Amino acid sequence: MKKTQFIGIDLFSGAGGMSIGAKSAGITVKYAIEKDMYASQTYQANHPDTKVINSDIHNIKSIPNDLGKRISVLFGGAPCQGFSTSNRRTNNRGNSDNWLFKEFIRILKLWKPDWVVFENVIGIVEMESGAFFQEIVNDFENAGYTCSYDVLNASAFGVPQKRNRLFLIGSKHGKIINFSSCVKKTKVTVRDALIDLPDLENGANIDILPYSQKVDNKYALSLRRSLTQCTGHLVSKNADHVIKRYTHIKQGENWEAIPKRLMRNYADPSRCHTGIYHRLCENEVSVVIGNYRKNMLVHPWANRGLSVREAARLQSFPDTYIFKGSIGFQQQQVGNAVPPLLAQVVFEQIVKTG
């Protein structure tokens, strides 16, 4: 029996986390559209068989008609900073970025795929007491799609990170996705993810290094595969007074553990966000890997920030993945990405449903 072929287009693709998940589930990703130059370079370097269109989504006026008669999947997540519950200043209709989902709908109507997967932060559900999200659902339904949606926690599916993401799936043929059938996996800890990576110093800048040791935990082995060394061992260089703050923070603690005398440059330290200066717990899953440099996220057993590769491990990117641009752009790409293992779970449900 001939296997059904699936083909996809990745909108707002970023570095390509969702595309890794789609390909792992058996979907051929033909095109990716991404505005950011460095994220586009990262995507192309790791997905040579996918054509990357480095363009603002507003400039896309047509969809190539060379995709063949296969089950088609349009997927992606519009930039989500405006929907973040931690950023109240932009969590409203006045933020133009919050309307980029309309461009997603426009492309959907141009192509009319069999399936659509819209991913975003859970803040989009909470915005305006749910009215804004209902408007999005209505737009998908008015375009002819039956919708299923749920919030999935990445840590339940083999990602060493407590990261909740909304997935809205639409079917042009009236099919429903049963999220409760997604197979959950054993918890993977921060230690599982980082144990074999090299010991680094504050400001480490040697990109390619060998692994520090052999490991037998399945997670690390699944990401490093047959490699003996990998890229991404770049760490932001923090000032001495920041490193001194790190020394006071135990695993699981945050800025509140830092003596007040060391926080005098903050106008009011008591108003710091709970995620600031958080040291990861090695025997637990990580907190959200967002803008981990800005948040001063601390390595579990070293007094420094995370390397690009360590953050990528916590996001479930394979060690073969190469990130392009300066360290700041690489950090942003990793932090913004959808964990590939989480995306894979969603796409497997689509492939299984057919």
Report, as residue numbers or ranges, the catalytic residues: 80
Taking Cα atoms as reference points, which of 201, 50, 16, 32 lies closest to residue 107? 32
**pLDDT (tens digit, 0 to 9) for every residue of the chain, 354 residues total?**
567 899 999 999 999 999 999 999 999 999 999 999 999 999 999 999 999 999 999 999 988 777 777 899 999 998 865 555 554 454 555 555 667 889 999 999 999 999 999 999 998 998 888 888 999 999 999 999 999 999 999 999 999 999 999 999 999 999 999 999 898 899 999 999 999 999 999 999 999 999 998 888 999 999 999 999 999 999 999 999 999 999 999 999 999 999 989 988 776 766 677 778 999 999 999 999 999 999 999 999 999 999 999 999 999 999 999 999 999 999 999 999 999 999 999 999 999 998
The answer to whether residue 236 is domain-embedded is no
The answer to whether residue 65 is domain-embedded is yes
Burial class of residue 137 (count of CB atoms within 10 Å of its CB; 0-12, 13-18, 19+): middle
The answer to whether residue 324 is domain-embedded is no
What whole-number distance in Å separates Cα of residue 34 and Cα of residue 56?
Answer: 7
Is the pTM for the entire model greater than 0.85? yes
Residue 99: give the domain boundaries.
Answer: 6-182+339-353
3-state secondary structure of 353: helix
The answer to whether residue 105 is domain-embedded is yes
**Other CB atoms within 10 A of residue 173 CB:** 12
The answer to whether residue 291 is domain-embedded is no
Q: What is the CATH number of the domain that holds 97?
A: 3.40.50.150
The answer to whether residue 301 is domain-embedded is no
Query: Scanning the structure block, which residue is given the tokens 């400039």?
Result: 59
Q: Are the CB atoms for 46 and 19 separated by under 8 Å?
A: no
The answer to whether residue 251 is domain-embedded is no
On the CB side of 111, how many CA atoms lie within 13 Å of its CA?
31
Query: Scanning the structure block, which residue is given the tokens 């990703």?
Result: 29
The answer to whether residue 66 is domain-embedded is yes
Number of domains in the chain: 1
Q: What residues are paired with 117 via a beta bridge? A: 75, 169
